[in-house]
Amino acid sequence: MRISPPRIRLLVKEGLLRPAYPGRGHLSKHLTLYGKDINTFLTQLSHDECHQYAESTDLISVWRIGKQWLRGDENFLHLITALTRGELKAAGRDPNQFGIRALLLHRLEFRAWFDHLHAEQELMSIPDAARLLHIDDCTIYHFVQAGLLALDEHRLYRFGKHIPGLRRATLVDLQRQYLWGEGLAQATGIDRLHAAANLIHQGAKPVAGPWIHKHCCYVFRKEDILNATAGPRLKTSVSGTTAEAPPTA
């Protein structure tokens, strides 16, 4: 099949590949497969397309797609599922490769599918993510290094090169759970330069920072701010911005 053992186990786990002994599960120490089931699976992917072609400007191999375009188990499953369902169709096989990696796809057809997948995943570039959060690109990377944001294994293709991406859902979660910069100032009623120091003095511990880029920046959990200040509760809007809740009578 020309894929790694963990990927074979993943196909078995997802029900895309039949093991010889289904009752043992995909985590059994010795996973056994029948040759006929492997051949059936490969036929489902290629839909019996056996023409031999070399990779070209019009055709791209599954091997190259996995190396340059789609990374990680989730994206591997997206690709295999699309081939099985016929959403992507194999145009032939590369005579220099074997198994799954030998399958060739039409580049234009793959790009159209790839762009549609991006739209479904709401994958954003670093500059687009920075604009959404009203911060600069460097601060995005600080969030990544602090473990508060994870770059997606699925990479964007922009301006003729592959670049890292972030899912919109992870950015929304970040806004929902944390405060920093101007949002911190608005929530505490203290100016931006002194808000973090005031919170630290009251016992709130920042989860990240300080980052020094144009200005010093700390990041706090919203619940930690509430516990430290025991003041007006934060109200989070659908957009992820923060403001003080109106006082109760």
pLDDT for position 26: 64
| Both structure tokens of 161 | 């090169």
10/73 same-domain check: yes
Higher pLDDT, 51 or 79: 79
What is the b/e burial string over 94-109, where b = at least 16 CB atoms within 10 angstroms of the residue's CB? beebeebbbbbbbbee
Domain that holds residue 83: 5-120
Please state, in angstroms and rounded to a whole number, the distance separating the CA atoms of residues 135 and 241: 13
Angle at which helices 222-229 and 192-201 pack, to 10 degrees?
A: 70
pLDDT for position 175: 93
Q: What is the CA radius of gyration of the chain?
A: 25
pLDDT, tens digit, for every residue of 110-148?
989 988 887 777 888 888 899 888 888 888 988 999 999
Please state, in angstroms and rounded to a whole number, the distance separating the CA atoms of residues 211 and 218: 7
Higher pLDDT, 230 or 248: 230
Give the rounded distance of the alpha carbon of 199 from its chain centre: 33
205/93 same-domain check: no
175/113 same-domain check: no
Higher pLDDT, 166 or 29: 166
Which among 104, 120, 136 is the end of a domain? 120
Which among 98, 120, 142 is the end of a domain? 120
70/174 same-domain check: no
Q: Look at residue 249 and tell me whether its pLDDT is greater than 60.
A: no
pLDDT for position 162: 72
94/150 same-domain check: no
Higher pLDDT, 109 or 50: 109
116/126 same-domain check: no
114/133 same-domain check: no
pLDDT for position 213: 58
pLDDT for position 221: 93
Work out the pLDDT band at 158, boundaries 50, 70, 90.
Answer: low
112/201 same-domain check: no
Q: Look at residue 165 and tell me whether its pLDDT is greater than 90.
A: no
Domain count, the chain: 2
Which among 120, 140, 170 is the end of a domain? 120
64/184 same-domain check: no
Over the chain, what is the mean pLDDT?
81
pLDDT, tens digit, for every residue of 52-92?
777 788 999 998 888 878 777 888 898 999 999 889 999 88
Q: Look at residue 174 and tell me whether its pLDDT is greater than 80.
A: yes
Q: Look at residue 103 and tell me whether its pLDDT is greater than 70.
A: yes
Question: Is 67 exposed, middle or buried, given 0-12, 13-18 or 19+ CB atoms closer than 10 A?
Answer: exposed
179/217 same-domain check: yes
List 193's β-bridge partners, or say none: none
